[in-house]
Structure 1
Amino acid sequence: MKNAHPNKVLLVDDDKDILDLLRYNLQKEGYTVEVERKSTKSVETATKFHPDLIVLDIMMPKVNGIEICRQLRELPDFKNTYIFFLTAKSDKMLQTQALDTGGDDYIEKITGLRALTHKISTVLKNNLIIRKSIKEIKFENLRIDRATNTVYHRNKVVELPRDEFELLYFFAQNPQKAISSDSLLNNIWGSDIYIFSKSVDTYIASIAKKLGKKLISKVNDNEYRFEVMA
């Protein structure tokens, strides 16, 4: 169910220029935006503002974004609120820590500001799910293990390269939903990486071949759907 009010986004970052840029772009998209530069006040601001989605910078003075996320997830009102991390650091261990604390996604500042806007629209306007904190997705004959980036089909390991794994993982979180190629391109590869839409068809065909079953069908020229396995 959609909210009766415009979706609310809280931005927490000590960089004023980043905040101003994100606030401008998100307000253009119709969101109600609140910003907080002081990490020590972020939980208080979130409690008063009641955002639908929170963007946290990781590296901030006094209290970092990972600790803020941990504090928020301990509060009942923020158990299911989307939390995206935005950071200048490209660090896999830091990324893992951010997601283990309850973050839903991790976007690098150097290439990710437009990607962040796309991801926010994906979850708040298109009602798709992006929760990389979900460690495992199970269907009757399919198990996707996020912790090890491993896929099991009929209890056998299926080796998928990163792009195919991320594609399947995204579809599996949104079964039976028609997903546009633009959503796939922006949310998996990012707006600053140029991928032909035909590449999506190639990845989907490769996944079907490796699983021995076609799970993702083409709804029309621009949309795809993941069918729950029987």
Structure 2
Amino acid sequence: MAKPTVLVVDDEEDIRELVELNLRREGYQVLACETGEQALNRVLSKAPDVVILDLMLPGIDGLEVCKRLKADPKTQKIAVVMLTAKGEEADIVTGLELGADDYVTKPFSGKVLVARVRRLLRKQRDETDLQAVVRIHELTIDPSRHEVLIGERAVALTLTEFNILHTLARRPGRVFTRYQIVDSIHGSDYLVTDRAVDVQIVSLRKKLGPCAKYIETVRGVGYRFTD
């Protein structure tokens, strides 16, 4: 598997070298440049996974670079971390509203910066995984179409039923507690009872017919998808 690529954009050479050193220690491929114009050209030619972007750049500043990257469908999925000495709340808010994914203020910890990059890369992988089509035997689950097929027959599911099925089927063999299922669908602040999850599972099994056998009850714990 190719190592993730990170583009570092900063007009201060010592900062660039420090960021590069920390990233390379973690095994990332690192590109570097010092102006906004160079950053835009490098992104188009190299397609990095993450851009670490100083806001105070000569020529096109970091905020404008971020704005252009997030406005272009070809580059909008690239994660942007703002790296800046401007720690005022207004600057941070402006960057985040333009689409930046995170920010780190100078002076910074190399370990913290690497941890932020690692988190964003993990988030990218999770989002890609969430959109992947799941195929197990005769069952096909397509998140982008919100479609479930058994063979060629479409199965009509509610949004909650679909999300439960997708959550379980993406991790066959893993046991999910009822509250883990709820968290993955609604978030940890969603209030629900054990019984509500069980009712959804009963309904889902009825609609899946012969494929209901793939949803296994783990007594005293929760549910898992078996393939």
TM range (shorter): 0.5 to 0.7
1:74 and 1:94 map into 2 onto residues whose CA distance is: 19
Aligned to 1:54: 51
- Structure 1 residues 84 and 69, CA, compared in 2 at 3 Å: closer, same or farther? same
Are 1:94 and 2:99 matched, yes or no? Answer: no
Q: How does 1:152-191 map to 2 (within 5 A)?
A: none
Q: Could you tell me which residue of structure 2 aligns to residue 44 of structure 1? A: 41
Q: 1:107 to 1:128 in 2, by over 3 A?
A: farther
- Residues of 1 paired with 2:122 and 2:30: CA distance? 15
Higher helix share: 2
Distance 1:38 1:90 in 2: 21
**Counterpart residue type for residue 59 of structure 2:** K
In the alignment, the residues of structure 1 paired with residue 103 and residue 114 of structure 2 have an alpha-carbon distance, to the nearest angstrom, of 13
1:76, distance to aligned residue in structure 2 (A)? 1.3
- SS of the equivalent of 2:108 reads helix
Q: What are structure 2's unaligned runs of at least 5 residues?
A: 128-166, 169-178, 181-186, 193-227
Identity %: 27
> What amino acid is aligned across from residue 2 of structure 2 in structure 1?
H
Instruction: Identify the residue that residue 20 of structure 1 maps to in structure 2.
Output: 17
Q: For the Cα contact (< 8 Å) 1:55–1:84, is it kept in 2?
A: yes
CA distance in 1, matches of 2:96, 2:71: 15
The separation in 2 between residues aligned to 1:108 and 1:28, in whole angstroms, is: 21
**Given the alignment, which residue of 65, 81, 87 partners 1:84?**
81
Asked if the contact 1:122/1:128 (under 8 Å) is kept, the reply is no
Match among 2, 5, 8 for residue 5 of structure 1: 2
Per-residue CA deviation, residues 158-183 of structure 1 (Å, 9 max, x unaligned), is xxxxxxxxxxxxxxxxx99xxxxxxx
Cα distance in structure 1, aligned partners of 2:26 and 2:122: 10
Question: Unmatched 5+ residue regions in structure 1?
Answer: 130-174, 177-214, 217-225
Which residue of 58, 80, 105 maps to 2:102?
A: 105
What is aligned with 1:165?
Answer: none
Alignment partner, residue 72 of structure 2: 75
Answer yes or no: is the 8 Å Cα contact 1:84–1:105 preserved in 2.
Answer: yes
* SS of 2:6 mapped into structure 1: strand
TM-score, structure 1 as length reference: 0.53
The CA distance in 2 between the partners of 1:89 and 1:78, in whole Å, is 25
- 1:6 deviates by 0.9
Q: Please state whether the residue corresponding to 1:111 is helix, strand or coil.
A: coil
Paired with 2:82 and 2:23, the residues of 1 have a C-alpha distance of 16
Q: Is the 8 A contact 1:73 1:79 kept in 2?
A: yes
Q: Measure how far apart 1:100 and its partner are.
A: 0.7
Cα distance, 1:112 vs. partner? Answer: 4.2
TM-superposed CA distance for 1:123, in Å, is: 2.5
**Residue type matched to 1:53 in 2?**
V
After TM superposition, give the deviation of residue 32 of structure 1 in Å. Answer: 0.8
Deviation, 1:89, is 1.4
Task: Give the TM-score taking structure 2 as reference length.
Answer: 0.54
Q: Take 2:75 and 2:82, find their aligned partners in 1: how far apart are those partners?
A: 15
- Aligned-residue Cα RMSD (Å) equals 2.5
Q: Aligned residue for 2:203?
A: none
Q: Of the two, which has the highest radius of gyration?
A: 2
Q: CA, structure 1 residues 65+103, in 2 after alignment: closer, same or farther (shift >3 Å)?
A: same
Contact in 2 for aligned 1:84/1:104 (Cα 8 Å): yes
